[in-house]
Amino acid sequence: MDTKEENLDVVSILKQNFPVFHNQDLIAKMAKEARWFKHEKEETIVDFGEYPKWIPLVTNGAIKISRADDEGGEIFLYYLYPGQTCAMTLNCCMVDKPSEVKAIAEEGTEYLGLPRKSLPQWMLEFDEWRQFTLETYNERYENLLATIDAIAFQKLDERLLNLLKDKSIAKGTNEIEVTHKSLAEELHSSREVISRLLKQLEKIGKVQLSRNKITVNLG
């Protein structure tokens, strides 16, 4: 990331995906210290218990954040889309602790990684960075509360439909290649229950099912 051409590239991609940043000194530091990361579909970016070293500013694709229990159960929390960063990672980096969630690339995911060691200084130096951090924390609280709402209050068929809608946004298409088994894992349910609910959703016109593919009717 040390040639002038690459720096200019970072600057324009930041401008496009993170228009919240205007401060030239901050942008210059980001361009100088950041690294590009690209991940294939389903690649693990950060696993439970790992210490993240880079704060991801997502510029393409999506990152799926999920939570696990001790017995290998897993539950989907939320997606990070372009223009967003990970509050969990920010927080882990600021208080120096390992990740309690898992981050997986959903689809040809790209992000700009900011080095954790720079963050404490940026917190002091740049109003914009401080504000961005606080807004990120706020958004992620809302995501976690929405997850709690969904698990505690929503019926499983609503949660399933919302997960499919999230996936279609994350993948940029309403034709989703996914197995009933993996949907069941993400919702901590069983394959049989998910298959039954998908058939119900098909009957009322919310989805169309075909082999290993689900088409979501977003209209």
**Nearer to a copy of itself by C-beta: 91 or 217?**
91
25 is a site residue for a copy of itself (CB under 8 A): no
51 is a site residue for a copy of itself (CB under 8 A): no
Residues 180-199 contacting a copy of itself, CB under 8 A: 188
Spatial separation of the C-alpha atoms in residues 65 and 144, rounded to whole Å = 11
In single-letter form, the type of residue at position 132 comes to F
Of positions 87, 163, 207, 216, contacts a copy of itself by CB under 8 A:
87
Q: What share of the chain is helix, strand, coil (3-state, %, to 5)?
A: 50, 25, 30
> Nearest distance from residue 102's CB to a copy of itself, in Å?
12
Identify the DSSP state of 179: -
Spatial separation of the C-alpha atoms in residues 153 and 133, rounded to whole Å = 30
Identify the DSSP state of 171: H
Q: How many CA atoms lie within 13 A of 173 on its CB side?
A: 9
> Nearest distance from residue 167's CB to a copy of itself, in Å?
19
20 is a site residue for a copy of itself (CB under 8 A): no
**Nearer to a copy of itself by C-beta: 92 or 216?**
92
5 is a site residue for a copy of itself (CB under 8 A): no
Q: Is 18 helix (H, G, I), strand (E, B) or coil?
A: coil
Spatial separation of the C-alpha atoms in residues 43 and 54, rounded to whole Å = 16
Spatial separation of the C-alpha atoms in residues 7 and 185, rounded to whole Å = 41
**Nearer to a copy of itself by C-beta: 59 or 133?**
133
Of positions 12, 138, 173, 190, contacts a copy of itself by CB under 8 A:
138
149 is a site residue for a copy of itself (CB under 8 A): yes
Spell out, one character per residue from 104 to 123, where the chain touches a copy of itself: x when CB under 8 A holds, - when not: -------------------x
The angle, 0 to 180 degrees and rounded to 10, between the axes of the packed helices 127-153 and 87-95 is 120
| Contact call for residues 180 and 142 (beta carbons, < 8 A) | no
Q: Using CB under 8 A as the criterion, which residues of the chain lie in contact with a copy of itself when the complex forms?
A: 67, 69, 71, 73, 75, 77, 87-88, 91, 94-95, 97, 100-101, 123-124, 130, 134-135, 137-138, 140-142, 144-145, 147-149, 151-153, 188
